[in-house]
Amino acid sequence: MTSISVAKADDEEVTIHIPNLVKVFKDGSIERLQSSPLVPPSTLGSVSSKDIVISSNPSISARLYLPTKLIHHHDAHKVPILVYFHGGAFFFESAFNERHHNYFNLFLSKAEADILVVSVDYRLAPEIPLPAAYHDCWQALKWVASTDSDPWILNHGDFQRVFLGGDSAGANLVHNVALRAGAEALPNGVKVLGAFLSQPYFLSTKPIGSEAVEGHEVYPNAPGGLDNPLINPLAPEAPSLATLGCSKIIVCVAEKDSLRDRGVWYYQAVKNSGWHGHLELYEAEHEDHVFNIHTPESENALKLMKRLAHFILH
């Protein structure tokens, strides 16, 4: 993986360095250590995509994906809406990068999924510190539920089947947006039907399972550190998991992922919370963190795509 900014040789210029993620230099420049190139929307075989602006201030946008066969048919056939939040530790990746673009083209085609995807491009740290990303994702969901969204959504989206989904940090965003959906009304009475959290990024000051004892950072000066309720859903100040605002959840983990035990921990916590919904746990054997995004054509990635499509469609 290549950086999206020019690397600097003098480490003395670095003011913030989170290993493998980001460096911030004294002159204000930022080096993101993991990313993939940005690519334009496209019509590839059975899947079409386009970019839209959700908000100019703050800057929130999205890439929409829709089966091409539906674009010119404004009939009664409505499809589920998946509002997706990408991963990247809140520091890197984009709804417009090659990695996620390829993933959703494969997801809709290989899984034969008639689903409308809204892949949200939220603002990244460290330029825009957290919790901005959480607010952006909530605003994106509100926009989807409004009457001012895009014609693809209004013409083809089934507002009785709105889902949230995300990988890694994106799954963390899903959790927090689902909590907010349980506490605040969305426009037009829209409800979130379900959510998938794939290899979710949660932490706490007390390691569990195979987690390292130290070395975790979230973002500078986070109130409560790793026990900030946004990062630790079981922190003392965190809302009850019983208030998650959806009716069905699937938590997906990968056997070799360092966050695997944390995903199972979250699943068990929801199961024991008193939340009244349908809950599932899915584990991909022999795989590491976000394998489904990095190697989307692998056998296990295709299995996970089909499992998620089934979760959304049935």
**pLDDT for 41-52, tens place per residue?**
999 889 999 999
Which is more confidently placed, 121 or 4? 121
pLDDT at 26: 81
Structure confidence at residue 308 (pLDDT): 98
Catalytic residue among 121, 150, 167, 257, which? 257
Which single residue is written with the structure tokens 């049935």? 314
Confidence of residue 6 (pLDDT cuts 50, 70, 90): very low
Give the pLDDT band of residue 221 (cuts 50, 70, 90): low
Active-site residue identified among 168, 198, 204, 227: 168
* pLDDT above 90 (res 17): no
pLDDT band at 223 (very low <50, low <70, confident <90, very high): confident
pLDDT classification of 23: cutoffs 50, 70, 90: confident
The answer to whether residue 257 is catalytic is yes
Say what percent of the chain tops pLDDT 70: 91
- pLDDT bin (cut points 50, 70, 90) of residue 72 is confident
| 148-157 LR contacts (CB < 8 Å, sep 24+) | 150/52, 150/64, 152/50, 152/64, 152/66, 152/71, 152/116, 153/64, 153/81, 153/116, 153/118, 155/74, 156/66, 156/70, 156/74, 156/77, 156/78, 156/79, 156/116, 157/78, 157/79, 157/80, 157/81, 157/116
Mean local confidence (pLDDT), 2-30: 64
Chain centroid, CA 265 distance in Å: 19
Q: Does residue 171 have a pLDDT over 90?
A: yes
pTM score, whole prediction: 0.92
Name the average pLDDT for the chain: 90
Q: Give me the amino acid identity at 131.
A: P
Q: Which helix (H) or strand (E) holds 312?
A: helix 299-313
Is 36 annotated in the active site? no
Question: What phi, psi does 179 have (nearest 5°)?
Answer: -60, -45
Domains and CATH numbers, the chain: 38-313 (3.40.50.1820)
Cβ contacts of residue 14 below 8 Å, gap of 6+? 8, 23, 24, 25, 26
What pLDDT, in 10s, does the model give residues 231-260? Answer: 999 999 999 999 999 999 999 999 999 999
Confidence at residue 173, expressed as pLDDT on a 0 to 100 scale = 98
What pLDDT shows up at residue 32? 76
Does residue 271 carry a pLDDT above 80? yes
* Residue 212 clears pLDDT 80, i.e. is over it: no
